[in-house]
């Protein structure tokens, strides 16, 4: 299993551009780049450039992955680039991207169900809890878009893979796959996002395993807080996710699956402003009513996982939410931002080392470039 990184979280990605970023990830000992959309690879959808990028990656032994974008039509206004790609027609833009990257041998394509709004507190950061349109109606609208996109995917032997994003549950993804067809659909398994939906990462991995075609590998702090549970991104091995349990599940279902790290972006690349704490309102009646698939058994397993993690916090092994925020982002004022390029690189390296070690401990081969450079 190759170990790479998501383009949007790679330090200096925009500064270096896609071509030079291949050299960057190679130098960092990583195996490839997951571009969230084809537009991240080439904003003008230049077929010649895409061929050159793929040829360079192939020559370096690096993987490339790509995506189409966020396909919830109720969020389309928040992604004008998708409309522009089709000269005003979003479906035409998506079709164009499918065809272009199929031409360079990329057939696994990320899609997502919404846009996370970190400036809002708790559940209101998620499109799942919009009051102007029910989540069920949003899912229905996404299914319609997926059906309309399915013929071009079938024609090219490609898949649109729905991420376990902040808004959606693994159960809902499975229902979309069944409704649209597993010959053109799959899942992008984000190892931490499901925590925000009350899903145990190991349980979710088992549910989705046969359909997982792409990944986002990341970890998170989850512990009790006023109103529910705090959620905060952490380097792999410093959060609540058990990768020694998850990697064998992923490898057993798809040994050729690429593992793409998704890290906290450097403040030099993406300046950070003050925002509310993102609370998982797991005991709120409104929140619970919106998760009818969450069983008592999985809830109990989830909370047992939280209890175990809180033991590590109590011993000082793990920093609590506020201490971590203050050290990395100047939490008191948000004027100090020490989390720059060096810190982001260190975060990536710690995560990569933990994933490789978790693989070694469980007999799962992870990473190729690091071994070659050693």
Q: Write out pLDDT tens, residues 218-266.
A: 999 999 999 999 999 999 999 999 999 999 999 999 999 999 999 888 9
Whole-number pLDDT of residue 371: 55
Whole-number pLDDT of residue 374: 44
Evaluate if residue 353 carries a pLDDT over 70: yes
Q: Write out pLDDT tens, residues 80-104.
A: 999 999 999 999 999 999 999 999 9
Report, as an integer, the average pLDDT of 101-120. 93
Q: CATH number for the 3-373 domain, one of 3.30.390.50, 3.40.50.300, 1.10.357.10, 3.20.20.150? A: 3.20.20.150
Q: Considering the entire predicted model, what is its pTM?
A: 0.95
Whole-number pLDDT of residue 336: 52
Whole-number pLDDT of residue 342: 93
> DSSP of 243-275, one letter per residue?
HHHHHHHHHHH-TT--EEE--PPPTTTS-----
Whole-number pLDDT of residue 373: 53
Whole-number pLDDT of residue 123: 86
Report, as an integer, the average pLDDT of 343-370. 93
SS3 for 42?
coil
SS3 for 104?
coil
Q: How many CB atoms lie within 10 A of CB 81?
A: 12
Confidence of residue 294 (pLDDT cuts 50, 70, 90): very high
Q: At what angle do helices 13-27 and 47-60 cross, to 10 degrees?
A: 20
Report, as an integer, the average pLDDT of 64-80. 93
How far the first Cα of the chain sits from its last, in Å, is 18
Type and span of the H or E element at 36: none
For 4-18, 74-88, 333-347, which range has the lowest pLDDT when averaged over its residues?
333-347
Per-chain mean pLDDT for the chain? 93
| More confidently predicted of 79 and 27 | 27
Enumerate the domain spans of the chain.
3-373
Whole-number pLDDT of residue 270: 85
Whole-number pLDDT of residue 372: 55
Tokens of 155: 């024609």
Evaluate if residue 370 carries a pLDDT over 80: no
Evaluate if residue 334 carries a pLDDT over 60: no
Place of tokens 């061929």: 51
| More confidently predicted of 120 and 104 | 104
Whole-number pLDDT of residue 331: 53
């Amino acid at each position: 299993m190759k170990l790479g990184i998501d383009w949007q979280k790679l330090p200096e990605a925009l500064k270096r551009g896609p071509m030079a970023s291949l050299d960057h990830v190679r130098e960092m000992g990583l195996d490839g780049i997951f571009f969230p959309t084809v537009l991240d690879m080439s904003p003008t959808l230049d077929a010649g450039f895409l061929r050159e990028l793929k040829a360079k990656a192939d020559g370096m032994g690096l993987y490339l992955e790509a995506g189409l974008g966020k396909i919830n039509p109720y969020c389309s206004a928040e992604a004008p680039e998708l409309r522009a790609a089709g000269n005003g027609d979003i479906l035409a833009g998506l079709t164009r991207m499918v065809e272009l990257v199929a031409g360079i041998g990329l057939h696994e394509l990320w899609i997502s169900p919404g846009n996370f709004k970190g400036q809002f507190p708790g559940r209101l950061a998620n499109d799942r809890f919009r009051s102007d349109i029910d989540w069920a109606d949003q899912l229905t609208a996404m299914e319609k878009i997926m059906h309309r996109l399915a013929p071009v995917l079938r024609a090219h032997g490609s898949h649109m893979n729905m991420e376990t994003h902040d808004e959606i549950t693994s159960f809902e993804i499975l229902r979309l796959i069944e409704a649209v067809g597993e010959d053109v659909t799959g899942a992008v398994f984000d190892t931490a996002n499901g925590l925000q939906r009350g899903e145990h990462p190991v349980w979710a991995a088992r549910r989705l395993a046969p359909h997982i075609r792409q990944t986002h590998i990341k970890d998170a702090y989850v512990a009790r807080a006023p109103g529910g549970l705090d959620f905060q991104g952490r380097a792999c091995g410093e959060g609540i996710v058990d990768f020694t349990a998850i990697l064998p599940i992923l490898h057993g279902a798809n040994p050729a699956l690429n593992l793409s790290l998704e890290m906290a972006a450097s403040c030099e690349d993406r300046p950070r402003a003050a925002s509310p704490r993102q609370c998982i309102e797991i005991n709120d009646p409104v929140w619970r009513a919106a998760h009818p698939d969450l069983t008592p058994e999985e809830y109990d397993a989830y909370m047992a996982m939280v209890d175990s993690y809180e033991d590590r916090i109590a011993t000082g092994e793990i920093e609590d939410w506020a201490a971590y925020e203050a050290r990395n982002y100047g939490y008191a004022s948000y004027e100090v931002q020490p989390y720059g390029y060096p810190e982001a690189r260190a975060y990536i390296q710690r995560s990569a080392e933990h994933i490789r070690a978790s693989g070694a401990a469980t007999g799962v081969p992870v990473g190729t470039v690091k071994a070659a450079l050693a």
